[in-house]
Amino acid sequence: MTDRISLGLDIGVASVGFSVLDIDKGKVLELGSRLFNSKIAEENQTRRDMRGSRRLLNRNKQRREDTAKLFERFGLMPNFNKNDYFEEFNDNLNPYELRVKGLMQQLTKKELAQSLYHLVKRRGISYDLKDADVEGDSSGTDYSASLRINNQELKSQTPAQIQLDRLNKLGAVRGKVVVGNDVEQQKVLLNVFPNKAYEKEAKQIIQKQREFYPEILTDQFEKDYCEILTRKRDYFVGPGSPKARTDYGIYKKDGRTLNNLFEELIGHDKIYPEELRASAASYTAQLFNVLNDLNNLRILNYEDEKLTKEDKEKIISELKTSVKTVSMIPLIKKITGCEKEDIKGFRTDSKDKPEISSMKIYRKVHKDFLNQGIDISDWPVDFLNRLSFILTLNTENGEIRKQLNNQLAPDFDFLDADLIQTIINHKDSFEIKTNNKWHRFSVKTMNRLIPEMIERPIEQMTLLNELGLVKKDTKRFKDDKYLPYREIMQDIFNPVAAKSVREALKIVNAVLKKYGHIDYLVVEMPRDKNLKEEKDNIEAFQKENKNKKDQAYQEFVASIGNEKTVKIALSKSRKLQTEIRLWYQQDKIDPYNNQPIHAIDLIENPDKFEIDHIIPQSISFDDSLNNKTLCFASMNQIKAQKTPFEFMNEGHGLNFDTFKTIILKNKKFGKNKRQNYLFSENVSDIETRKRFISRNLVDTRYSSRVVLNSLQEFFKEKDGDTKVTVIRGKFTSNMRKHWHIDKTRDTFHHHAIDASIIASTPFLNIWKKSGSIFPVKVNEESIDIETGEILDDKEFDKNLYEQPYNGFVSEIMNADDRIKFSHQVDKKTNRKVSDATIYSTRSGQLAKDKKPSEYIVAKVKDIYSTDGYKAFDKVYKKDKTKFLLAKYDPRSFERLEKILEQYPDKIDQVQNNGKVKSVAISPFELYRRDHGMVQKYSKKGNGPVIKQLKYLDKKLGSHIDITPKNANNKHVILQSLKPWRTDVYLNHETGEYEIMGIKYSDLKFNSQEGYGIKKGKYLEIKQREKVADDSEFMFSLYRKDRIKVQNTETDESVELLFWSRTMDSQKGYVELKPISRFDNGETIYPIYGHTKGRLLKRLVPKNCKIWKANTDILGNPFYIKKETDSPKNILD
């Protein structure tokens, strides 16, 4: 058992690197990379969307079925048959004519059923047209203009009367119907009417037809019919019902019934768990934010540097009553009588401007409503809070109206229909522009805190502790031997981050189980939301970095006048590259004294200049370019361990105001660099230094705080002295750079290498003199951590970058062969079955075919476009008999061929620079310019135009037939069936391995056994794949399962990842991938030989045997020849 260990975790969006370090010996005991699929969250979202679409279709179908059952029950139609009831309504009667006729004349029973059935099929939108308008638009769009037309016409007509009139006059009803030829005078008509209008029409039809069929159209019939016509599941209810509960809707399995499904997304207040978090737009939340920001300010000309109660009350009064634009710094300056420079402690935005809460939403609402003659300052605070909750939670106007009527109108007499309409018309005034739609506290909690926050300048966490609102000594993990990662994950809302952290905590548990304890635990969290964002950010950074380097280099070469001189100088000096970047970025001056820096001096007199850390490294922990400046050595020696503000206020260099003007004028400086240059706080102040640690060393983002605080809490409860911290990725990156450890993202090794660096950070010499990386506690706005003495840059560099152990860097640089890999195997059964694209097929026999085969029908979408012609030409040159037009209408196809003979596929075109260039063009486009679009052959010369061409593409392979039962001469299918599992058998008679692939489309579900494959289907696949009946089942392989294959004659072996059964027509072929990198590239593998790109080979070549290698979370392999006696998931 090792005495003391340090565990480093490098958590990414699709990986977790880990490293276990022996603290006393300074040796890496083990290291590895855990890899998993970060796209599963996206795939789950796609699956949820598809499931939602299926539910809508099923509900639509259910309404039609229920309508037909109702008709049968009351004698309006003959016996109901679920399989063909719809045939009763497929008689080509015009439903619009029937509905209009039904308003005034007798209909037959069949016509009446047809009319009412059609209303259920096309029942309109569920809210009023005034609530369906385009957000933010009151006049301009086709949609809003069409709704106004419909709303006006509904005052005197039913939807059927409007629709029939349009059908007779315009020849169309559904879709977008454009009226008029003059573009300026055109109007657009849309078939959008509210459900209430259809219900009203249905009642009128029933009322009229009751004169003729009183025994059928009873009051009960009308009630039941209208219930079917108007029923709609509110979007905030979700699936399930009181009798069929599910945790995905408001009817929870534990018996709870929520008012709104989105309440769970809002979250509950941790102070009062029964309370929901408040809307960020609520009056109370805005007031709380203002007070919190005001209490964090420091007014330097005040004795205690804090705003008084009277100051805060005056500021709040000004914010509540003013309808003019409010700028907080001038307002505070006016109230306190201080100078602008005396106000410190505020946040800054992306443009370096002060960011102090100012009740912005309240002020906007106040101003907008005053323009309507309404003063919201007369509204009760409770009304404003509840109103904001409704407007933040709901987006649809109809739902907002419903909630205001149901929840607020009974409690507030002044909320009448007119005010409700005004609120809906101005709901944008309440809009929260950030992603933080909900406050961290409930209204109840904030109401407890606000009086004290007005009374005295107290920080919120201190106040919560004072009031006894923070629960202490609640042992959350008392019953847990290991980390309950599922419970911890509930507080991380980003599904990608949650998955990454879950895998990381599994590793912590595995290490804890193996070694018995962990002394130091250092974690680096992912910086990006998903894998795509990570790749995009890396590419964008590298591209921007290269551009800036190139610009600086070109400018420097131009100033020197000789590129060879520059290249020689760069080969002699490592730091010259950085000096050139800074020289260019600083507009060729030393910003400390505004003196020019001549390019030639950087080469000929390098000792005249030094690279200075703008804010000393021992304070900022920032060695990035944003904290560096190129200056004269004389300036740097005087500046020493001061900030530019301190240095200049002592009378050195420029006047600070002049310096500030230079910095702000330079557009090449980014936000962070400007902040560092202009930093004016006291760096000796402990709180200031803690903020630098929070910014550049300890990661204080939300998900990082969740992980850090949970880990600290867990180990504290176990009476351990485990020290835990979460560090920022740029610190690790900086250590890599100074230790000269190259990073390649082509393989997965770098995750484990970074984890080793992370594990070693507690043992850097710097912490002996400069504080600690282990915070006591990290909150939303503060960090409790020990700080150390301020060191000069040379001493700081020596202590920070010196190896923690002799030979440590060499050890991890040569650790590739020791790194273990663990891939998460995907065994889930409810994945995507196929691509969503529906393809049609045709039976055809091409010139190369000996007999007819089923082909996929593809399409050239536009023969007149250049790309469309290229697609046409590719098929035409290969086999023109593929085109259906050539087979079914040869004379029309001959027209196309004549055009190909008469017109070229390239033309000369004059470019902007005056040069003539030959460019590709479609011959059909040239014909169109001369004669119009190509028409099909007809005797009268008026055949339809040809724009698209269908052709027989590939022979039909694996597919799902989705052809409807009532389809006539049509065949439609789904392709790209996704593989799920491959079962491996051993034929003892031949000595060879046999495999059979199972696809997701082969799986079924039943309530007793869950997902699986029916035995009959399994045997059918087994026979098709030519697996012998007496072959022995060995094991099943899923995607990313690891395998080991060995040649029994040479003992040569290789380990790879199984990917999928592929090339169905080739027996035993699979796709394999490498374990330690993304793809194969050009590689020579033992046993499988040379490959370039995808590795598609027979799974087990002749004279070879295979093992399945199960790995634990730490990457330790366990080889098995045989898994079970029979395959799993076989349904009876």
Could you give the CA distance from residue 974 to residue 271 in angstroms, rounded to a whole number?
52
Burial class of 1074 by CB neighbour count within 10 A (0 to 12, 13 to 18, 19+): buried
Residue 702 pLDDT = 62
Tell me if residue 679 falls in helix, strand or coil. coil
What is the CA 37 to chain-centroid distance, rounded?
A: 14
Could you give the CA distance from residue 272 to residue 467 in angstroms, rounded to a whole number?
13
Render the burial of 691-720: b for 16+ CB within 10 Å, e for the rest.
Answer: bbbbbbbbbbeebbbbbbbbbbbbbeeeee
The percent helix, strand, coil of the chain (3-state, each to 5) is 45, 20, 40
- Between 272 and 966, name the one with better pLDDT: 272
What are the residue numbers of the active site?
A: 10, 613
DSSP 413-426: TT--HHHHHHHHHT
Q: Decide if pLDDT at 379 tops 70.
A: yes
Which of 258-272, 700-714, 866-880 is predicted most confidently? 866-880
Secondary structure letter of residue 836 according to DSSP: S
Cβ atoms of residues 289 and 357 within 8 Å: yes
Tell me if residue 1046 falls in helix, strand or coil. strand
Q: Helix H segments across 74-193?
A: 95-102, 109-121, 142-153, 159-170
Bridge partners (DSSP) listed for residue 1039: 826
- Residue 135 banded pLDDT, cuts 50, 70, 90: very low
Question: Tens digits of per-residue pLDDT, 810-846?
Answer: 999 999 999 999 999 989 888 888 877 888 988 888 8
Cβ atoms of residues 191 and 175 within 8 Å: yes
Cβ atoms of residues 763 and 756 within 8 Å: no
Q: Count other C-beta atoms under 10 Å from residue 303's C-beta.
A: 6
Per the prediction, the chain carries an average pLDDT of: 86
Secondary structure letter of residue 266 according to DSSP: H
Residue 699 pLDDT = 60
Residue 134 pLDDT = 46
Residue 785's alpha-carbon distances to 432, 464, 721, in angstroms, are 34, 20, 16
Question: Tens digits of per-residue pLDDT, 767-805?
Answer: 776 566 666 555 544 444 445 555 666 777 777 778 889
- Residue 1008 banded pLDDT, cuts 50, 70, 90: confident
Phi, psi angles (nearest 5°) of residue 51? -65, -40
- Between 494 and 787, name the one with better pLDDT: 494
Average pLDDT over residues 487-498: 76
Q: Decide if pLDDT at 89 tops 90.
A: no
- Between 1105 and 785, name the one with better pLDDT: 1105
Residue 781 pLDDT = 47
Could you give the CA distance from residue 504 to residue 516 in angstroms, rounded to a whole number?
17
pTM of the model: 0.74
- Between 729 and 543, name the one with better pLDDT: 729
Residue 1127 pLDDT = 95
Using alpha carbons only, how large is the chain's radius of gyration in Å? Answer: 37
Could you give the CA distance from residue 579 to residue 552 in angstroms, rounded to a whole number?
10
Residue 508 pLDDT = 93
Q: Decide if pLDDT at 489 tops 90.
A: no
Residue 248 pLDDT = 83
Residue 693 pLDDT = 63
- Residue 410 banded pLDDT, cuts 50, 70, 90: very high
Q: Helix H segments across 484-530?
A: 485-489, 495-515
DSSP 713-726: HHHHHTT---EEEE
Query: Which range (282-296, 345-359, 649-663) has the least confidence?
Result: 345-359
Which of 143-152, 614-623, 1107-1116 is predicted most confidently? 1107-1116
Q: Decide if pLDDT at 140 tops 50.
A: no
Helix axes 563-572, 531-560, angle to 10 degrees: 120
Could you give the CA distance from residue 403 to residue 419 in angstroms, rounded to a whole number?
14
Average pLDDT over residues 384-388: 95
Q: In this prediction, what percent of the chain has a pLDDT beyond 70?
A: 91
Phi, psi angles (nearest 5°) of residue 970? -125, 150
